[in-house]
Structure 1
């Protein structure tokens, strides 16, 4: 397998830092300069300039920068150098470039030459998020889209003098985009074989937003690319959902990856100030050394990495971030107010009611409002409420679990003393958690650093409102308050809904909620239906025995011999149902029911067998509360029976088995069959095919 030293000199540094690569309003020049200071302070070394909404980076990539724009970029590149940060200029020509046109290649070189004149020495070509179809001219010149990209990238790289840092972003930049797989991707193999060895390749991991990035997955893509990738990490990106913000730590990337990568760049939240945690924790991760570092003795038992604890890294970041919040030398903060007060004092005094001192409330008056200072616990709560794309923080999980329990056990609020006591106690705990959110909001709202607050304000307002609705709902369930306007009624106010039109579209589409992070019991589980195989016989027999219940003297059903394995199902007529625990149901059929009838010496009239010659049985365990998996099994089974030429199928049920009688009845296609010779407590139901 390739190693960093196989394509770069051993002295080449590990690329670590930030990519400004999101969709939306780019950061300001002042914010980028502040970023460089932080990177230098925390030990990061790179900044990739790739804002999607900089027109001359993407949409109008051919256009040269104006003198005013050039002045800004020159200042920015200079600021990066002052803080030992490698400024990597990226350009995205893939929306409309004609690869085979020499004028287009010349335009691309001319644009990058201009940026090089600004003092930039590191570059990147990005071909992400574009159409894969080539124009007619390119199809004649190149055998594939990958060959076209490789050709122009190599040409630009050599034109620029083969810079020490030159990054390439492929169109298939994550595993899910690779067809059929990463090792077998013709696109990725062409890129790996064709790109010159000095060019590094960006990669986001298994997905666009990867939950976890394993060592094995990196070794796999490294083999295909013929070089270790640079991770473009979207774990903190939020440009795909304007209602989400991510303040959790950099995690689920083992530090063992450090020696197997060329670098890691985080593409974080669109808002600048909330990225303090994302960048700070990445810096902590980058400092971990799996070969010479010391084991982190403070990590929790749940941590698997010996050299990096996400929770400890988060606490370090939040502790330092707290000082930023309390920085009073900010626009609108107390420092500014003090300066304004001093300036006013130098001028003529304003007309005031002389003689009146500061207001002091009387014994029965409201006390003066005082803003309590923000605490580290407030920031930990904030992080828990806005954690990571695939995970809520612990406090958020606790609140959701308590709300779910209180809803599902609301009858306990009016039941016996013991039940009422538990419900009320847990309701009070939930209310305390809601109050903590409100107090956190109040302290954040009064923090001196208004710049950070304004980046957070929409998010914390939204969560405060959502928590308030849940709080009122639980209070009403427990009879602790009068009916509130906050509880959803037939005439709710517009501010009570989340998501607007987008939310309504989602609720109307199938599968809504499948990506909810809080997995509560009523949610549909994931089931797999597959063909029955001989190894399943024992599990099917176990389910059959369990659903039979206590052995009683009762006449057998025709399908019992099928479920018990005494008679084998017909070919293509046997299915099993699995969930995350194991086999939880089955569907078996005989295209010809006569062997089963003979097995128990059941007399079945010829007229019945003429219309319903096939026999089937379906059984699922009680833990399968969703009827749709059993319905899908029935549908597939009937399709197989129909393919055999059968005119119809029937099943036998006990009158006491109301669960399965209800199931077959609600299917709509099964109806009772009148047939003689059935024991008293057995009924038959059939369907025509």
Structure 2
């Protein structure tokens, strides 16, 4: 069984360009990636300024992307993070939410995700307040599929450290009370899980009372800790036998749109064969053989050593090495070496 794959543009930092998003959809549509969820943390009109309408130019660009997805046979969705709406869900907030949902419906969305992630969660009655919002959304949205990201979307205690201790029984309450037709995101044992196996998914399914909708945080490389690295290696640790146990498998990609395609192509192979796919094969498909050979040679520098440990002389040599290519992937390597995607804690908190 092969699960529905998709892209979740859900990372912090510099977002992708509109043309790059469309090209990404086209490149992966024939490799099992059948949905695209637009949810960049940098879009203020989906997060801290969610109650305000997107500027007309942004609405036009979103509609164009939705149309492109549909032309490629790919579902298009939007992830709305109504920032701390659960703190005061009064009549004015309901009206604002209704206006935002109408705006998103006008785009022709297939999927709508309501994202409660990365917000304070140590509050009494958190699950009940979120359930009220979810019910309100379900009554109003025209999207064919509704997905919810809980405040605590993994067992990882790092969420409790950053956003407060999770309320007792929080996930059990959501699982019991959310309409079974509504999907729930889950990232695995950790925020960025190295392994996701059938035993874990089975246990989580019992709590959520449905198959989890997998939000896979690989090859994402946002934030202060990960932005100095490029995650290019093939997917590993995703057991093919989880396929019938999950609702779908969404991938949160890296900040580098072209380089993201390399590991993302390998997920299809992993599910098909049950074995780790070839980096060389995927990289060659994305960049061509000569550039793929160089990437393989430098893979450990990019993914293991990282910017902080690469010397200035090494960086200069790498710049010269990749400047010989006009391919977008080579341009992304050079921009990364120059620190274009470095991301601070202060920038993270602002988004």
State if a TM-score over 0.5 links the two structures: yes
Residue 131 of structure 2, aligned match among 139, 142, 150: 150
The counterpart of 2:176, out of the listed 193, 198, 209, is 193
Who is 2:152 aligned against?
172
Structure 2 counterparts to residues 80-159 of structure 1, below 5 A: 80-134=69-123, 144-159=125-140
Q: Which residue does 2:332 correspond to in 1?
A: 455
Q: Does 1:22 find its partner at 2:11?
A: yes
- Counterpart of 2:33 in 1: which secondary structure? coil
> CA shift at 1:256, angstroms?
0.5
Give yes or no for contact 1:99–1:149 (8 Å, CA) kept in 2.
no
Q: Deviations over 1:104-155 (max 9, x none)?
A: 1221122111111121131010000001245xxxx6xxxx101111121122
Deviation string 1:145-184 (CA, Å, 9 cap, x unpaired) is: 01111121122112225x43211000011012488xxxx9
Deviation at 1:279, TM superposition (A): 1.7
Residue 233 of structure 1: aligned partner: 216
Alignment check: 8 A CA contact 1:202 1:231 kept:
yes
Unaligned 5+ residue runs, structure 1? 5-12, 289-306, 327-373, 401-433, 463-498, 503-689
Q: 1:104 to 1:15 in 2, by over 3 A?
A: farther
Partners of 1:102 and 1:188 in 2: how far apart? 27
Q: Deviations over 1:522-551 (max 9, x none)?
A: xxxxxxxxxxxxxxxxxxxxxxxxxxxxxx
What is the distance in 1 between the residues matched to 2:79 and 2:133?
A: 15
**Equivalent pair of 1:125/1:169 in contact (CA under 8 Å):** yes
2:189–2:200 CA contact under 8 A, matched in 1: yes
Q: CA deviation at 1:41?
A: 2.8
SS of the residue 1:63 aligns to: coil
What residue number does 2:37 align with? 48
Equivalent of 2:299, from 376, 383, 395?
383
For residues 317 and 121 of structure 2, what CA distance do their matches in structure 1 show? Answer: 51
Alpha carbons of structure 1 residues 46 and 27: separation in structure 2 relative to 1, 3 Å: same
- Whether 1:160 and 2:141 are equivalent positions in the alignment is yes
Retained in 1: the 8 A contact 2:319–2:334? no
CA distance in 1, matches of 2:87, 2:317: 57
2:147 and 2:76 mapped to 1: Cα distance?
12
Match of 1:277 in 2: 262
More helix by share: 2
| Residues 103 and 285 (structure 1), Cα distance of their counterparts in 2 relative to 1, 3 Å cut | farther
Indicate the residue corresponding to 1:293 in structure 2: none
Q: TM-score, normalised by structure 1?
A: 0.44
TM-score (norm 2): 0.84
The number of residue pairs the alignment matches comes to: 327
Find the aligned partners of 1:461 and 1:117 in 2 and give their Cα distance: 40
Contact 1:128 1:170 in 2 (8 A): yes
In structure 2, C-alpha distance between the alignment counterparts of 1:130 and 1:454, rounded to whole Å? 35
Give, in whole Å, the separation in 2 of the partners of 1:190 and 1:97. Answer: 16
Q: Distance in 2 between matches of 1:43 and 1:239?
A: 25
